[in-house]
Structure 1
Amino acid sequence: MLQSIRSTTEVARGALATCLALAAFAGAQPAVAQDTSAPASLEDLIPDSAVDNPEAWAQQGTDEGVTSAEPVLAAETPIADLPAMPVAWPDDVEIEPLEPLEPEGDIQFADLLEDAPQIAFEDAEIETLSDSLVLGFPQKEPPFTERGDFVDRFEALSTIEELDNGDENVAQLAARAREDEELLATLLRVYGYYDGEIVRTIATRDAGEDSADQNPRVRFDVIPGPRYTYGAIDLGELDTATDAAELRDSFDIQPGEYLQSDTILAEQFDLDRALGETGYAFAEIDEPELLIDHDRVEGDLTMPVRPNGKYVFGGVVSDDEAFLSSRHLERIARFEPGDVYQRSLEFDLRRAITATGLVSSASVEAREIEAPQGDEPGVVAMDVSMERAELRTIAGAIGYGSEEGVRIQASWEHRNLFPPEGALRLRGILGTREQLAGVTFRKNNFGGRDKVLTVDAYASSIDTSAYDARTVALTGTYERTSTLLFQKPLAWALGGEILATDERNRIVDGVARPRQTYFIASLFGRATIDTSDSLLDPTRGFRVTGFLAPETSRTEGEQYYYLRNRVDAAYYQSVGERTVIAARAAFASIQGANLVGIAPSRRLYAGGGGSVRGYGYQSIGPKNQFMEPIGGRSLVEASLEARIGTGFFDGAVSVVPFFDLGSVSTSTTPDFDEIKMGAGVGLRYATGFGPIRVDVGVPLNPEPEDSPVAVYISLGQAF
């Protein structure tokens, strides 16, 4: 028990010493704490009788056995003066100094000068970008003229916008608010506001009247201040150029105009392009530097330009004469020696060489061969370096179609067997409805860029829904083609063919019709006017193609002369952001011979994926007693479809409802005795090489032999 009392006494003594020490630190009298006559400890106040019998001693009260210098205090008597209680000052207590408080990082104040713009935070115009992000514009004068574009660009780049999913908290917003504040300051400088202020506030708000949730919100008050203007503009040696005035106009920035840094980059690009397109093959432009003068509220722009002389084209020099000669490269270039140098034509030559398919890589570099002399331009040669690609190709395909049955196709090609660009191709087809063996000679860029000479000889046997033909033919064509690299507003083709063909209508139910042999010679021409914006997937513009072929045919001892002609027209119009309306019309006729004098394979038919969808290939038109199409001498077709983007797969998928109609007549002018109509819906999947097309069509006024539905799969749009 004594041990317990002593422990308790020690605890009480320690607690009292600590309290007094804190009181002394707060202002108690230090002289009392240093009194040397203070008792050594509280144990001296406890008599031995209390130790021997603590319970009996406790019942005696405090008057016996206790000697105290302290007066007895009654509970009802107020204390006038607190008695002094000497306590030894502990030597082992150290008080650490208080650290100064740092200001909170999220609290910022606009440092507004006496001549600062007029600011009214309470009347600020507000732009609410999301539930978590608000922009305030308290500056009234001068007005923030670029505010609309400024807000759009900030919204597109804001990191807080990425958090706008309902899961925001104060910590997330505070972290991203610092990034967005820097973004706002950067954007202000982009627009020429170099004294701008951004005031950031993060607060919470009730999510609803009956909700205890608190949703945080960030508000930025944007104070742009005055907008800086251009001061001095130094373009280095630009004045030494022959076309200095025109070149200076291409850099459309003048002193006194409002400063905007991304405009500087755009105008730098325009000046560089103007130099490259007006003969300055070796022009140099250093990076622009902007010196801001806050006193003048201006920025001085320095962008050293060195034109380095004007040049004209010389010749084209190949590093592999046996493969693609210099003469051939000059033929496919879109410039002549003596023409003013243009950088775009240099790039175009490199693309044209790559497009031949004969090289794996190509480079074109301008090389000075004559320096400029006074006002006389210099001359540059275009050095071409190439690496040969693999020139032999073996290709094959196996497929099945409801219109053509099983089909196996193979080919072998050497693309430069007869340099330059003389290709030889062997091909064969083995199928249930078609067999073919052929050889083709093709000379690309023959006589000029994108002009192609083709000679094709083949023997074939083909069995379609309309006829069975066995044919031997020789065809030659010279054409100017429109390519994906350079889509031309005018493309054309001239050619001729001779052929012998043994034909008959199809065998039905084992009944064979007599075969009839035709010897045919033809000349033909084709021209296309194209204003569309794409060869494979147009969205605007039109195309018109005309075909004309005077032809003679000898059969059964009779000679026939006739004229085959056809006109196709298509129009494309975008409606909104994702929809294209496409329309097509076609008219064709054969003038000058009756139907008997025209081989079945040369007659006109309708139906199929590129004609009237919902019907079989060549199934529309006059029929014989076996319900076989016999073809006609006039044709009319029309199609209308809407190509509607869906947004699926990043916008690659489109839905295409369509409606087609067509009519074939035995007369040379359409009589519209029977018009077939089809409708349906398709899907398009956009790829890098054109859309993949899947169309499902139904005939609206079918014959008994027509299928109730037809499916077409191909590459490219229907028209």
Structure 2
Amino acid sequence: MAIAGLLCACITSSGVGRADDRAPWPPPESRPDSAAGDAQASAEETDTRIAYTVEIQGLAEGEDDLETLLRGSSRLIGLQDDLPATVAGVRRRARADVERFQKALRSEGFYDANVSFEIAEPPPDATAGAPQADAPAAPASDSPAPDSPAPDSTVPAPAETVREPLEVTFEVETGTVYLLARVDISYTPATPPEREGIPRGAEGLDLQLGMRARAPAIQAAERRLLSALENHGYPDARVRDRQAVIDRSQKTMRVNWQVDPGAFTRFGEIDVSGLETVEAKYVRSFSTWTPGDVYDQRRIEQMRGKLLETGLFDSIQVDRAGEPSDGRTPIQLTLDEREHRSIGFGARYSTSTGPSGTAFWEHRNLLGQDENLRLELNAGLIEQRFTATARKPRWNRDDQDLLGNFELRHKDSDSFEEYAAEAGVSVEREFDDLWTGRLGGSVEALQTTDNEGTREFILFGVPTALTRDSRDDPLDPTEGSRLSLEATPYLSTVESFQPFFTGSLGGATYYTIDAQDRFVLAGRARVGTLFGAETEQVPASKRFYAGGGGSIRGFPFEEVGPLDEDNDPLGGRSLVELGVELRIKITETIGIVPFVDAGQVYDTVYPDFSVDEPLRYGAGLGLRYYTAIGPVRLDVAVPLNPRESNDNAFEIYISLGQAF
């Protein structure tokens, strides 16, 4: 509820009777409406326009915010694109600004402020021919004369246009700032019981006695007053009266609110309407209260926010349904479901892997409780993969999901050829807004052909992950970071029983250099290790590889690291990758990205950074085309320290989304 009459309603001066000044409500941020009264008739008869400049003097150093407020409330400045036809029109705007400035200054606690202005015309040699029909402007006072002329209804005969703008100078004397001396809240007809959270004075409204008596701060305090009552069982609270009294002798203000809290109420039952396929029981499970709890508007907003996050609804309306019964208010949820099925396609290309494409079908409400099923097919020259993933949200806990996956894949690269089938189940839990953990089990059947020949494996794994994600956008982040720790112990069977362990730690961070997000510095790093078995004892697909569009750009796909006698990659037991890029937006849709990547794969358990296997560096330039679903990426990269074999002069990568 606005505080639009706070000072206007009742301002008195202690010991001096009724105050001359009125409260600055509504605040003066509203813009001037039009210049119709300044040049209405003249615009039809002549193209003469009076240009002017505006200067504000008298403010102390460090009061830039106050000058910004005055300029924002100025009619002269706001209408500079619509110049008046006469000097008298400029003068009328200046006189209007005097009142606007005084209101703005009062809103900041300067109740004794004085504002005046002068208009200086250019010297005679700055105009051509005879002077303007209007008489030269003399210094003007801060209030118009009683018989000041009406808006221009007649226009002098066309005269020579003023070549130099008029100089309008405002002189501002702020006077002593008034301080907040007292805050009183009186409740009527009923006084709420003494309960934590219900404001009784300044301390409950984020006001401090002795602070500057600013209108915006007092307006915000009234909103906090009503919100506090709404959040503690009084949703119908309203301000019956408000008073702000200034004491000119003490240079202080005291504020009093008379509040009708309304009836105390508790939450009642939830009624749900508008559903088509989503179950009402599932919607009610998002309730952040139980019937009988004290009414709290914050809990309603929390429930609404959680329902929106599901992606099941286009709109969610939450209302109190009717009058309270037995002190309980029923809640009405009205929902509008969105489409739950979708299909999609994607494409990628790089010079080392060739073209590849993706197609998927997704159902986001399979059984009526937000169950998600996604079928995805990825096909390329090197790898073909079919994946089915399912997610059951809110499994046994509100913050916990049950996940299942099944995958068939075939991969034929310079490193190895493999046919595989994998199935797994896991539990994912959100610890808070940033941290997520996952724990599960998996089984894989593999047939792998590499330097060791053709072998078969059955792997039992326990994949775990811990992730911290504060990015503002997964496809095109401009700030925040992502940290991911993944670890999986495996037991390999069939030909022999061989346990081994793989783990990796990776992260990326993003920093916006300017306020418009046109320059974003992004960096990433990743390290990995595999231990418990020798390299040749581990299926080739579980070793580490580097190189390619998501790794070290400029080098062929998965070909950085140990090579066999035919210069085919063998993979390794440890990995290190680094990358940094500067994302520069040229326009809203076009950007460029210079980047540098580095990394290496080692046959040892930990990276040894040996001379024989130095870090490989790649650099290049990318082009980005920004769309509603994310940026389209084109990267061209070259190896900075290429090997004599394997490496090309350059590599090209095309895909959707940033590189990391």
Normalising TM by the smaller chain, what interval?
Answer: 0.7 to 0.9
1:442: which partner in 2? 391
Q: 1:488 to 1:607 in 2, by over 3 A?
A: farther
Q: Aligned match of 1:705 in 622, 639, 646?
A: 646
2:238: which partner in 1? 285
Equivalent-residue separation in structure 2 for 1:380 and 1:664 (angstroms): 64
5+ residue gaps, structure 1, are: 1-115, 117-129, 139-143, 373-377, 507-512
Report the structure, 1 or 2, having the larger helix content. Answer: 1
Give the aligned residue type for 2:194: T
Matches within 5 A, 1:178-189: 180-189=97-106
Q: Given that residues 275 and 336 in structure 2 are in contact (C-alpha distance below 8 angstroms), is that contact kept between their aligned partners in structure 1?
A: no
**Identity value in percent:** 27
Q: Given that residues 489 and 501 in structure 2 are in contact (C-alpha distance below 8 angstroms), is that contact kept between their aligned partners in structure 1?
A: yes
Q: CA RMSD in A?
A: 4.3
Equivalent-residue separation in structure 2 for 1:496 and 1:416 (angstroms): 25
User: How far did residue 449 of structure 1 move?
Assistant: 3.4
Higher relative contact order (CA 8 A, sep 6+): 2
1:566: which partner in 2? 504
1:49: which partner in 2? none
Give the aligned residue type for 2:192: T
Equivalent-residue separation in structure 2 for 1:203 and 1:132 (angstroms): 10
Give the aligned residue type for 2:455: Q
Equivalent-residue separation in structure 2 for 1:207 and 1:290 (angstroms): 54
Matches within 5 A, 1:127-526: 132-137=53-58, 147-156=63-72, 158=74, 160-161=76-77, 177=94, 180-194=97-111, 196-205=113-122, 214-225=164-175, 227=177, 235-237=185-187, 239-243=191-195, 247=199, 248=201, 249-253=203-207, 258-277=212-231, 279-280=232-233, 282-286=235-239, 289-290=242-243, 301=255, 303-308=257-262, 316-319=270-273, 323-325=277-279, 327-335=281-289, 341-366=295-320, 382-398=331-347, 400-402=349-351, 404-464=353-413, 466-480=415-429, 488-505=433-450, 515-526=454-465
Equivalent-residue separation in structure 1 for 2:282 and 2:507 (angstroms): 36
Q: Aligned match of 1:527 in 460, 466, 469?
A: 466
Q: Given that residues 332 and 445 in structure 1 are in contact (C-alpha distance below 8 angstroms), is that contact kept between their aligned partners in structure 2?
A: no
User: How far did residue 628 of structure 1 move?
Assistant: 2.0
Equivalent-residue separation in structure 2 for 1:690 and 1:334 (angstroms): 34
1:674: which partner in 2? 614
User: Could you say what secondary structure the match of 1:240 adopts?
Assistant: coil
User: How far did residue 346 of structure 1 move?
Assistant: 1.4
User: How far did residue 308 of structure 1 move?
Assistant: 3.5
1:605: which partner in 2? 545
Q: Aligned match of 1:544 in 469, 474, 483?
A: 483
Q: 1:455 to 1:257 in 2, by over 3 A?
A: closer
User: How far did residue 300 of structure 1 move?
Assistant: 6.5
Alignment deviations for residues 562-612 of structure 1 (CA, whole Å, 9 cap, x no partner): 011111234455656565544432211111122222222211011223322
User: How far did residue 665 of structure 1 move?
Assistant: 1.0
2:135: which partner in 1? none
Alignment deviations for residues 286-308 of structure 1 (CA, whole Å, 9 cap, x no partner): 48755667977776645443334
User: How far did residue 254 of structure 1 move?
Assistant: 6.9
- Segment drifting more, 415-424 vs 170-179: 170-179
Q: Aligned match of 2:561 in 621, 629, 643?
A: 621
Q: Given that residues 546 and 601 in structure 2 are in contact (C-alpha distance below 8 angstroms), is that contact kept between their aligned partners in structure 1?
A: yes
Matches within 5 A, 1:42-53: none
User: Could you say what secondary structure the match of 2:570 adopts?
Assistant: coil
Equivalent-residue separation in structure 2 for 1:168 and 1:220 (angstroms): 19
User: Could you say what secondary structure the match of 1:558 adopts?
Assistant: coil
User: How far did residue 266 of structure 1 move?
Assistant: 1.6
Matches within 5 A, 1:52-91: none
1:33: which partner in 2? none
- For these two proteins, the number of residue pairs brought into alignment is 566
User: How far did residue 193 of structure 1 move?
Assistant: 3.9
5+ residue gaps, structure 2, are: 1-19, 21-50, 129-161
Equivalent-residue separation in structure 2 for 1:414 and 1:369 (angstroms): 40
Q: Aligned match of 2:493 in 554, 566, 571?
A: 554
User: Could you say what secondary structure the match of 1:457 adopts?
Assistant: strand
1:94: which partner in 2? none
User: How far did residue 367 of structure 1 move?
Assistant: 5.6
Q: 1:684 to 1:612 in 2, by over 3 A?
A: same
Pairing 1:636–2:576 present:
yes
Equivalent-residue separation in structure 2 for 1:622 and 1:447 (angstroms): 47
Larger Rg: 1
User: Could you say what secondary structure the match of 1:186 adopts?
Assistant: helix
Q: 1:227 to 1:575 in 2, by over 3 A?
A: same
User: How far did residue 273 of structure 1 move?
Assistant: 3.5
User: How far did residue 333 of structure 1 move?
Assistant: 4.2
Q: Given that residues 421 and 445 in structure 1 are in contact (C-alpha distance below 8 angstroms), is that contact kept between their aligned partners in structure 2?
A: no
1:584: which partner in 2? 524
User: How far did residue 467 of structure 1 move?
Assistant: 3.2
Q: 1:450 to 1:695 in 2, by over 3 A?
A: farther
Q: 1:567 to 1:237 in 2, by over 3 A?
A: same
User: Could you say what secondary structure the match of 1:151 adopts?
Assistant: helix
- TM superposition score normalised by structure 2: 0.72
- Segment drifting more, 445-454 vs 615-624: 445-454
Equivalent-residue separation in structure 1 for 2:656 and 2:386 (angstroms): 24
